[in-house]
């Protein structure tokens, strides 16, 4: 009896399963509009599409205090000390507001050439003794040059911090630039240029900058043209140092096992020969601002198997409040690589469409900021026969951001962005770099409690407004190389815009900005923080100052009482309508 009952149950289950499958097939055959899937609860653990709750980031925002001292020479010293028990290494570096965009006409490549020559011997150390000293300590000494900044830094054990500061001061103030070293380094840089030409992504972004900032130093390459490299002399290098390596444009940043007062004393004692010229990078930029030129640079190369291209719109500067929504837009568009093979499951709608139709080998959204302007767009690698359809999908997804964005995908993008920012500062080297760069760009170190509040304030309405301002009817720059004969021309981007009732809400939030102060801090941190300036003139100088003003600082250990801050924010928000 039991056997017959179990057999009957199996038949019943099979019949029901067949009926369900038949119903699913019949439903799938009917044309219907796709429904927005419910957001995965895992994505909503630390955030919510609802704008009213205050998000609790207290579990991972207890960072050591950032300390800042400005010396009479104008040099700013910023440190972030880790507990001695947690770190036995330190990173010390010098961040300088000088890059390739500040080079005089006809001298493009000097900033990068100087980066190479700075390690070739000083009046106190030969190139060999410098190298041996670093290796004997087990340290690491490095440098890099960008379009707006030059950086020299050292990673050392805690006991060797003083030596690292001394080495940095020596190479920046006492380098000799011998002729034989300049001649040898020319060959090194020319070989580096050949290597860069083999890195197609680097070439594409050089082409893109040339198209976006045609005729401006920001559109030049960092390495410079070959004829400049062959002609750079000791006089050019010394003139660049005396003009741009000035105290007011310099930040010494240290992180890890360091003590602020000791770093300040060492810098004040050793960094004594820099110019005190008060001219700032902002003044130089204002004298020659970058202008976005919507043009194209196409290099046809049938010998390449795949086409590489990047499309870009004019972006925002570092301190533009729109930089935060554009960061979220970059996260929304996302990135995808065919070798990973998970595009169909990606949270990015662009990645899903590209992966499903097999349109590309790789796509990557980017957002680059400079002092007065920026670039944001998408870089792609694809087969020649996919270029037209891929271009159409790319532009469709970019334009979609102006009128059809769900809160669920914005929540996911915000969470991905915050995770990426936290992962980026893992270790003393990254912390030192982050603090040094922010001191140059913002004039302060942006506290994570504030940065995350700005990110969490970006909702779907803010994304659509930003997209309308930066994408619709705006010029497009393009850099492309490879078999690109099928790549269509990208003209001014336009589409019909559906009016949104949220426009009024955004405008209302901006008008209420005049009411900002610590008394109504809830507006600042939740409702409209993404439209605040990012400069130090903001009311938010640091999370330390905020919690101290609110009486929420633990005087015993100097740590921030984030639970109390969250409760205070909640009280403020609940006291007034949103």
- What pLDDT shows up at residue 84? 60
Q: How confident is the model at residue 338 (pLDDT cuts 50, 70, 90)?
A: confident
Find the catalytic residue in 115, 409, 433, 465.
115
Find the catalytic residue in 103, 148, 185, 465.
185
- What pLDDT shows up at residue 55? 56
Position with higher pLDDT, 177 vs 542: 177
Cβ proximity of 412 and 418 under 8 Å? no
Comparing C-alpha atoms, which of 481, 531, 541, 492 is closest to residue 511?
531
Around 105, how many Cα atoms within 13 Å sit in the side-chain half-sphere?
3
In degrees and rounded to multiples of 5, residue 103 shows phi and psi of -75, 145
% of the chain surpassing 70 pLDDT: 73
Q: Residue 284 — left, alpha, or beta (φ > 0 → left; ψ -120 to 50 → alpha)?
A: alpha
Mean pLDDT value of segment 189-210: 93
- What pLDDT shows up at residue 472? 92
pTM: 0.76
Q: How confident is the model at residue 519 (pLDDT cuts 50, 70, 90)?
A: very low
- What pLDDT shows up at residue 268? 96
Cβ proximity of 291 and 352 under 8 Å? no
Residue with tokens 């300390």: 67
Mean pLDDT value of segment 26-49: 44
Q: Of how many residues is the chain composed?
A: 578
- What pLDDT shows up at residue 573? 37
The per-residue pLDDT for range 416-465, each reduced to its tens digit, is 999 999 988 888 999 999 999 999 999 999 988 889 999 999 999 999 99
Cβ proximity of 319 and 533 under 8 Å? yes
Q: How confident is the model at residue 544 (pLDDT cuts 50, 70, 90)?
A: very low
Comparing C-alpha atoms, which of 311, 145, 144, 118 is closest to residue 220?
145
The per-residue pLDDT for range 566-575, each reduced to its tens digit, is 444 444 433 4
In degrees and rounded to multiples of 5, residue 487 shows phi and psi of -75, 120
Residue 159: pLDDT above 70?
yes
Residue 259: pLDDT above 90?
yes
Helix then strand count (H, E) for the chain reads 21, 12
Position with higher pLDDT, 161 vs 427: 161
The answer to which of 11-20, 85-94, 128-137, 165-174 has the lowest mean pLDDT is: 11-20
Comparing C-alpha atoms, which of 486, 513, 457 is closest to residue 389?
486
The per-residue pLDDT for range 58-99, each reduced to its tens digit, is 555 567 889 999 999 999 999 999 876 567 899 999 999 999
Angle between helices 179-197 and 234-244 (to 10 degrees): 80
- For residue 185, indicate whether it is catalytic: yes
The answer to which of 394-398, 482-486, 504-508 has the lowest mean pLDDT is: 504-508
Q: How confident is the model at residue 4 (pLDDT cuts 50, 70, 90)?
A: very low
| Other residues' Cβ atoms within 10 Å of the Cβ of residue 318 | 20
Contacts of 14 (CB under 8 A, 6+ apart): none
Angle between helices 200-212 and 179-197 (to 10 degrees): 100
- What pLDDT shows up at residue 219? 94
Comparing C-alpha atoms, which of 322, 445, 350 is closest to residue 69?
445
Contacts of 455 (CB under 8 A, 6+ apart): 324, 327, 328, 414, 417, 418, 530
Mean pLDDT value of segment 369-377: 96
Mean pLDDT value of segment 286-296: 93
């Amino acid at each position: 009896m039991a056997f017959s009952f179990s057999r009957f149950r199996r038949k019943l289950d099979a019949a029901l399963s067949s009926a369900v499958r038949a119903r699913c097939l019949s439903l799938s055959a009917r044309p219907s509009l796709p429904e927005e899937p419910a957001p995965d609860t895992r994505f909503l653990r630390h955030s919510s599409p609802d704008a009213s709750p205050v998000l609790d980031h207290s579990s991972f925002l207890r960072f050591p205090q950032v300390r800042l001292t400005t010396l009479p020479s104008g040099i700013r010293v910023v440190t972030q000390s880790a507990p001695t028990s947690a770190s036995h290494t330190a990173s010390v570096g010098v961040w300088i507001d000088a890059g390739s965009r500040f080079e005089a006409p006809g001298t493009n490549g000097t900033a990068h050439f100087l980066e190479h020559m700075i390690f070739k011997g000083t009046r106190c150390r030969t190139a060999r003794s410098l190298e041996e000293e670093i290796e004997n300590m087990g340290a690491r000494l490095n440098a890099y040059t960008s379009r707006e900044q030059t950086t020299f830094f050292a990673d050392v054990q805690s006991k060797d911090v003083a030596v690292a500061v001394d080495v940095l001061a020596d190479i920046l103030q006492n380098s000799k630039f011998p002729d034989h070293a300049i001649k040898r380094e020319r060959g090194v840089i020319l070989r580096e240029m050949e290597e860069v030409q083999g890195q197609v992504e680097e070439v594409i972004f050089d082409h893109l900058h040339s198209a976006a900032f045609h005729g401006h130093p920001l559109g030049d390459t960092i390495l410079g043209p070959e004829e400049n490299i062959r002609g750079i002399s000791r006089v050019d290098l010394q003139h660049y140092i005396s003009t741009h390596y000035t105290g007011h444009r310099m930040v010494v940043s240290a992180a890890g096992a360091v003590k602020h007062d000791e770093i300040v004393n060492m810098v004040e004692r050793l960094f004594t020969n820099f110019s005190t010229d008060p001219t700032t990078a902002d003044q130089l930029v204002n004298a020659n601002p970058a202008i976005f030129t919507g043009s194209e640079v196409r290099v046809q190369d049938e010998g390449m198997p795949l086409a590489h291209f990047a499309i870009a719109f004019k972006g925002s500067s570092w301190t533009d409040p729109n930089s935060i929504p554009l960061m979220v837009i970059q996260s929304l568009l996302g990135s995808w690589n065919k070798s990973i093979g998970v595009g169909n499951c990606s949270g990015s709608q662009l990645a899903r469409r590209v992966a499903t139709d097999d349109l590309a080998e790789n796509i990557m959204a980017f957002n680059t900021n400079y002092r007065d302007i920026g670039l944001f767009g998408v870089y792609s690698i694809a087969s020649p026969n996919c270029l037209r359809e891929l271009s159409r999908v790319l532009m469709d997804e970019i334009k979609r951001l102006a009128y059809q964005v769900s809160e669920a995908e914005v929540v996911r993008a915000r969470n991905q962005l915050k995770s990426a920012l936290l992962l980026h500062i893992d270790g003393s080297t990254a912390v030192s770099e982050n603090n040094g760069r922010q001191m140059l760009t913002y004039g302060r170190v942006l506290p994570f409690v504030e940065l995350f509040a700005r990110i969490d304030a970006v909702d779907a309405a803010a994304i659509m407004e930003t997209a309308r301002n930066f994408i619709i009817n705006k010029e497009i720059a393009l850099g492309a190389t490879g078999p690109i004969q099928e790549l269509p021309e990208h003209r001014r981007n336009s589409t019909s815009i559906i009016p949104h009732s949220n426009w009024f809400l955004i405008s209302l939030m901006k008008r209420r900005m005049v009411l900002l102060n610590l008394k109504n801090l809830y507006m600042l941190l939740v409702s409209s923080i993404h439209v605040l300036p990012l400069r130090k003139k903001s009311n938010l100088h640091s999370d330390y100052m905020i919690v101290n003003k609110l009486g929420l600082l633990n005087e015993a250990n100097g740590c921030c009482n984030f639970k109390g801050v969250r409760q205070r924010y909640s009280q403020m928000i609940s006291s007034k309508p949103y």
